[in-house]
Amino acid sequence: MPIKKALGTLMFLALFSDPFCFSQDSNFHIYLCFGQSNMEGAGAIEEIDKKVPDNFFVLQGVNCSEPNRKKGSWRAATPPLCQCNTGLSPADYFGRTMVANLPEHIKIGIINVSISGCDIRIFDKDIYTSYDDTHKADWFSNIVKNYGGNPYKHLIDLTKTAQKDGIVKGFLLHQGESNSGDVQWPNYVHKIYKDLLNDLSLNSKDVPLLIGEVASENNSCCNSMNSIINKVPETINNSHVISSRNCTTKDIAHFNSEGYREIGKRYALKMLDLLNVVNTKN
């Protein structure tokens, strides 16, 4: 090929290649987020939230028309990170805090499959059909339908796509309001965690499970659930509970924007601690 033609080809590729096209990269760290409405995101997205670090991405979980976003494609992690019309979530400031404290060559990718009002067992691949119409309401059924009727499989399929680009470093869970008072909840979570590890060929020693407490301020509806959530590390060795203490709320169940920013940072600070990152910038 003549030199001039070869240079022209290289210039074309440089100009028109997809900026979000990845090949597998050990410096691309991927985190799976799942749960119910607080992980889905119910906080108002404010101006401060719209500027996103260059090395923070989300794998689009569902197709959206406004703006046009395609399921299964990476994009800049501009909120919302879950579905089309959700709000700010812990995942937003988890990712921002991670990239602020890691070397510049590290990229962070988020996958978020969450469902308002769901029972945790909708993520159990063996019994999910018993919990996919919990509310028997269109809004709930439509969310589940957007996940192909099987949220667990949807999460697995997205993650297998993501594993072609990077490596899974951890799971983030925020759920419990719909299971408030159920002492079997840690066992449900343990089953789901083991299934995720097995189906994604991951080792529990390498992939921690970070679990956020439910809202505990302003007479929260479900703060008694936190005593059950805090028992999970007795069942799952590499699991860690993230405190919701002093994370501000907008109602009896949901954090407000500042509360989401704060608990998201707390998830990240725990993960950074597990990665032995010192002198973090909070």
Report the relative pairing of strands 56-59 and 74-76 from DSSP bridges: antiparallel
Could you tell me what percentage of the chain is helix, strand and coil, using 3-state DSSP and rounding each to the nearest 5?
40, 15, 45
* Residues forming the active site: 37, 251, 254
Q: Which CATH number characterizes residue 195's domain? A: 3.40.50.1110
Give exposure, 102-119, as e/b (b: 16+ Cβ within 10 Å).
beeebbbbbbbbbbbbbb
Residue 11 belongs to a domain: no
pLDDT band for 278, please (50, 70, 90 cuts): confident
The encoded tokens of residue 136 equal: 């028997």
Instruction: Please tell me the distance from the alpha carbon of residue 166 to that of residue 138, in angstroms, as a whole number.
Output: 36
> What is the total count of domains within the chain?
1
The contacts of residue 136 (CB under 8 Å, 6+ apart) are none
**Does 2 have pLDDT greater than 60?**
no
pLDDT tens, 161-179? 999 999 999 999 999 999 9
Answer yes or no: are the C-beta atoms of 162 and 111 closer than 8 Å.
yes
Provide the pLDDT for residue 200.
Answer: 98
Summarize the confidence of residues 19-44 as an average pLDDT. Answer: 89
Residue 20 belongs to a domain: no
Answer yes or no: are the C-beta atoms of 264 and 93 closer than 8 Å.
yes
Provide the pLDDT for residue 1.
Answer: 47
Q: Is 280 buried (19+), middle (13-18) or exposed (0-12) by CB count in 10 A?
A: middle
Summarize the confidence of residues 24-50 as an average pLDDT. Answer: 97
Residue 129 belongs to a domain: yes
- 8 versus 158: the higher-pLDDT residue is 158
Provide the pLDDT for residue 22.
Answer: 54
Residue 238 belongs to a domain: yes
Instruction: Please tell me the distance from the alpha carbon of residue 58 to that of residue 62, in angstroms, as a whole number.
Output: 12
Looking at every residue in the chain, the average pLDDT score rounds to: 92
The SS3 of residue 137 is coil
Residue 218 belongs to a domain: yes
Answer yes or no: are the C-beta atoms of 257 and 43 closer than 8 Å.
yes
Residue 9 belongs to a domain: no
Residue 282 belongs to a domain: no
- Where in the sequence is the domain holding 91, given as residue range(s)? 25-274
pLDDT tens, 214-225? 999 878 899 999
Residue 244 belongs to a domain: yes
Instruction: Please tell me the distance from the alpha carbon of residue 79 to that of residue 86, in angstroms, as a whole number.
Output: 8
Cis before 80? omega within 30: yes
